[in-house]
Amino acid sequence: MTDPIDEQLPGADLIRTGLDDVRHGRESIEALLVLIGAPRLRRIGIDVPERAIARPEHRLYELLARSDGDSAHGRYNALIRRLVSFERAAECVRR
């Protein structure tokens, strides 16, 4: 599979960083976001490596709660919106 990440797509910076982190075994906010979106990202044609992290959604929230406290919920939702925005835009470009 290719790695068709158009840098002009919304959230491309997060996805690119997340893919790099997943490939290097780093558990970062961006890596967890990519793992959450992995099934759809793979369908789009992005090569997301297999990485076994149980419930990446919960893990992401835990990481955010540690660093952001009370604002973790809002930040989590904003990150998920950026992921979905990237996925939708990438699907449109792919057509």
Q: Does residue 5 lie in a domain region?
A: no
Q: Does residue 59 lie in a domain region?
A: yes
For residue 59, the enclosing domain spans: 12-94
Q: Does residue 73 lie in a domain region?
A: yes
CA distance 43 to 21: 20
pTM of the model: 0.89
Cα torsion at 6, 8, 9, 12 (round to 10°)? 70
Domain count, the chain: 1
CB 82 within 8 A of CB 11: yes
Q: Does residue 1 lie in a domain region?
A: no
Q: Does residue 4 lie in a domain region?
A: no
pLDDT band at 2, cuts 50/70/90?
very low
Q: Does residue 3 lie in a domain region?
A: no
What confidence score (pLDDT) does residue 4 get?
A: 64
Please provide the average confidence, as pLDDT, over all residues in the chain. 91
Q: Does residue 68 lie in a domain region?
A: yes
